[in-house]
Structure 1
Amino acid sequence: MSDATPIADRTEVPASGSYRFTAADAFGNETEVILVPCEEDPGVRAWVNNCTHEDQRFDTGRGAAIRDGEIICPRHGSMFDACSGECDNGQASGTALPGVDIAVEDDTVLLTDEHYEYLHDGGVNDGDDGPGSTSHISF
C-alpha cells in the first residue's frame, strides 16, 4: 500500500480505550480520529472522534470509554458499536459514526483513507499553550 501512512502499532490501541491522532480532511480541517479495538478483522477500527448527536469528543486525552464492545458518549451515554459505528440507543439512536479507512499490516495500523492526511499523534490542540497575551498587566 504505497499511499498508506503508518499511524501506530496495533498493541498501542488499548483493549478498553482508544488511540487518538489528528488528520486533515479533504478541506484541510484538522480532525481528531480514534482507533478502537474491534473483535472483527483486522482487530481495530477508526472513527471520527465525535458523537453524532452533539459536538462531544469521545476521547479528550484519556481514552474513550468503551464497555462490552461499545464506545460510550460521555455527554448523554449513547453507545456506538466499536466495529460498525452504529448507535441504537440514547440521543444518537439511528446514527452511525463517520468511519476512517485503515488497514493493518504486520501489526502496524495504516491510514488508507484518501480523504484524510495524517498530521500527528494526539488531539488537535495537544501541546497548544493557548493564546499569547498582549496585556500590559503581568501576573
Structure 2
Amino acid sequence: MNDPGLWRYRPNAPAPGTLLGPIADIPVGAAREYRFGRGRSTFSMFVVHIPDGGVRAYLNLCPHYSLPLNHAPDEFMQSGAILCSQHFALFRADTGACFSGACEGRSLTAIPVGVSGQGLLTIAD
C-alpha cells in the first residue's frame, strides 16, 4: 500500500505551513520547482498550476527510476502533461498518474498544498 504521507520522512522535507510563495508566480498550465536543503539530501518538489485554477504538488522523482523529472529549472510540462525528461514518461497534471511510458500505471508522489485567501501557496497538513 502506498503511504501518502511518506514524503514527509525524506531528508529536508518542508513542514506543514511552509510558505512557498504567491500562486501568481506560476503561470496557469506551468510548474515551478521548490528545493529545500542542499547536496545529495536536497528535497525537490514542484507545483503545477492546472488550467481549472487548482494546484497540485509532487515530489520531483520519477517512479520509474527515482530520478528528477526535469533537466532545466521549472521545465516539467509538455502539452498539458508532466514530462519525465529522463525516459519521456507522461503524467496527468491533476492526479500524477502515468499514462504513457516506462512507469505506466504508477503515480508521482503527491504533496498536499493549499492556497490562502491572499493567494499564498503553502504546504498543507
TM range (shorter): 0.7 to 0.9
> Aligned residues, how many?
106
Aligned to 1:56: 67
Q: Which residue is 2:109 aligned to?
A: 98
4+ aligned runs moved over 6 Å, structure 1: none
TM-score normalised according to structure 1 size: 0.66
Percent identical residues: 22
Measured on the aligned residues, the alpha-carbon RMSD in Å equals: 2.0
The C-alpha deviation readout for 1:23-74, integer Å capped at 9, x for no partner, is 47xxxx5421101121345x21110011110132123442123123210010
Identify the residue that residue 100 of structure 2 maps to in structure 1: 89
2:29–2:51 CA contact under 8 A, matched in 1: no
**Do 1:34 and 1:59's aligned partners in 2 also have CA atoms closer than 8 Å?**
no
- Once the two structures are TM-superposed, the CA of residue 16 in structure 1 deviates from its matched residue by 4.4
3-state DSSP class of the match of 2:86?
A: coil
Aligned residue runs from structure 1 range 1-139, under 5 A: 4-23=17-36, 30-40=42-52, 43-105=54-116, 106-113=118-125
Asked which structure has the greater CA Rg, the reply is: 1
**CA–CA distance in structure 2, aligned partners of residues 100 and 65 of structure 1:** 16
In the superposition, the TM-score normalised over structure 2's length comes to 0.73
2:108 partner letter: L
C-alpha distance in structure 1 between counterparts of 2:95 and 2:36, whole Å: 21
| Structure 2 Cα separation of the partners of residues 65 and 32 of structure 1 | 13
Q: Residue 13 of structure 2 aligns with which residue? A: none
Work out the CA distance in 2 between the residues paired with 1:101 and 1:23. 16
